[in-house]
Amino acid sequence: MDRYGYLKVAAAVPAVKVADCRSNAEHIIAMMRLAAGRGVRAVVFPELCVTAYTCGDLFLQSKLLGAARQALADITAASREIPVAAIVGVPIRHGNALYNCAAAIACGDCLGIVPKSYVPNYAEFYEGRWFASGAAVRDASITLGGRDVPFGTDITFDIDGARCGVEICEDLWVPVPPSSHTATAGAEVIFNMSASPETIGKHEYLVSLVRQQSARAVAGYVYASSGFGESSTDLVFTGNGLIAENGAMLAEGERFSTGEQLVTADIDIEFLRSERLRRNTYTDYTSAMPLRTAAAALPAPTGGRFERRIDPMPFVPHERSDRHNRCEEIFSIQSTGLARRLAHTGCRCAVVGVSGGLDSALALLVTLRAFDRLGLDRKGIIGVTMPGFGTTGRTYRNAVTLVEESGATLREISIAEACRRHFADIGLAEDDRSVTYENAQARERTQILMDVANMHGGIVIGTGDLSELALGWATYNGDHMSMYGVNCSVPKTLVRHMVEWAASVEQNGAMRRALEDVAATPVSPELLPADENGGIAQRTEDIVGPYELHDFFLYSFVRQGFAPAKILFLAMHAFGERYDRPTVIKWLRIFFRRFFAQQFKRSALPDGPKVGSVSLSPRGDWRMPSDASAAEWLRECDALQ
């Protein structure tokens, strides 16, 4: 693995000639060299690639079996000069049976041979005619090249610091694949060599199997299947190369290619280990089958580049076909949570502070949906707009439009005079623009919302989002507080996306235009006076940093458990064209400083629904002492300069 915990792997589909073992070995060796040149540490080849899968009754010929063993010896010898571990498919005679096997080769040695556990004997597959099941073969060995080589289904391989397991084709399709046991016993990457012919609709099912098995096993899964050179007497082989990680597809080869393919990707071993640690049910299901491990002492890679797409917005759905369904699901989770709280309390009134900004717009929309679900009159939703010293005409107009056009009840209550009186009471100078000046306005607004809710027997709907909670960008006991926070696990990048989506499906023209303008408005608490043109003078992202960066940091830190150095490495791949390294480090340091310092606000959060895989609820997903030190993380940030 590299220093960030990535293992570069490959699925290879070589050109084969049926029953020509010498030619096949030459192509395998050439592809091993190609893989090594790209920095690959482990490459898997298709099932029985040394002979070709479609040899039929030739598998029972001693000439073919002898040629296959010689080809395996040639590949093993060539591996002395190639810094890559290769897993190749070969028929192996052991005792009185013939097995369909995967041979792991590295550094001039055959590390071990794993026989296929489940041998099909149906439809187009009649492997049972030639091969025996290796499911019961454990703790055995076979002599190759004058040395004993481990042989059995109880073998894993240590490749460049990552523990790897092997299964063969049909093994994946059974109710409990061997890789389920291998993974729970410690294997982090599963290699599958296959020879699966193409039929209508099969590919989609195969992809779902690979994704699902990688998710269940919390592992990387590398799948290589036979291609164009196999016999087409009765079947067509299309050369599938698939690489998945914990349910996500990292790379796919070209189906129906007439040429050789090498599909590569970097699997995040560190993330897989972190994910297994946080799932206590994973360790509850530990395989009772003892496993042997053979290690490959590979030399350092000679080349290669990082081959993995890093999503700059991990919280936001990107596929247009999936966008509507994903946004609708998020919206439904939020509104259902609120509906349940309203039903439990018997409230027929909800109070929302509507500022004309992103968060309050989404909170209002969620509240509208919750009322509709319960069959409540939308007039019971009181949208309160509270103009202050920094309120601009743009946000004010959008706030009023959203409340009025939605059918909710609008109340306008200025906070200016109340705040001036409060400033005089506490002795704050008229021209003071300190944090007291700002927070007093936020607390005045919260007091109004709470009191209006008391007047009408309602509850205050919180508008603060996940990004603000991560950074502590909220006034304690001000906008930090509510009676139910519907946006508490929706980060700012996703809030904007949700508002844009809501605008795209809105039928009311005035509402749609207002939502579109809200989505285009700079994020601001509007607590400082407007500029000379009446525009927003206080822009949040100028103060705390771009939310797209902070959301990326948040996901990498909380969801994936990464340290600052790795987060920086990934951020530069995701945002390298928009931000330079010093800028990313600057905001990364601010993220960690604020995240640790502001935990006390998260420790006092009101209830709210979890939406995605990241939540900072002190009762659920994130339990951190309020006085935890950020020193270790900040020292690493400083070392990155």
- List residues with catalytic annotation: 47, 116, 169
What crossing angle do the helices spanning 547-554 and 492-505 adopt, rounded to 10°?
110
3 state DSSP class of 485: strand
DSSP per position, 527-579: -S---TTSS----HHHHT--HHHHHHHHIIIIIT---HHHHHHHHHHHHTTTS
Q: How far apart are CA 490 and CA 503, in angstroms?
A: 18
Sequence-distant (≥ 6) Cβ neighbours of residue 48 within 8 angstroms = 55, 89, 90, 91, 100, 195, 226
Distances, alpha carbon 109 to alpha carbons 24, 144, 167, 342, 421, in Å: 19, 10, 20, 68, 84
Question: Encoding tokens for residue 545?
Answer: 């940093």
Q: Give the Cβ contact number of residue 192 at 10 Å.
A: 29
What are φ and ψ of residue 381, in 5° steps?
Answer: -90, 115
Q: How far apart are CA 439 and CA 137, in angstroms?
A: 71
Q: Give the Cβ contact number of residue 151 at 10 Å.
A: 26
The identity of residue 347, as a single letter, is C
Residue 31 half-sphere exposure toward CB, CA atoms < 13 A: 29
The identity of residue 489, as a single letter, is S
DSSP state of 524: -
* Total residues belonging to the chain: 641
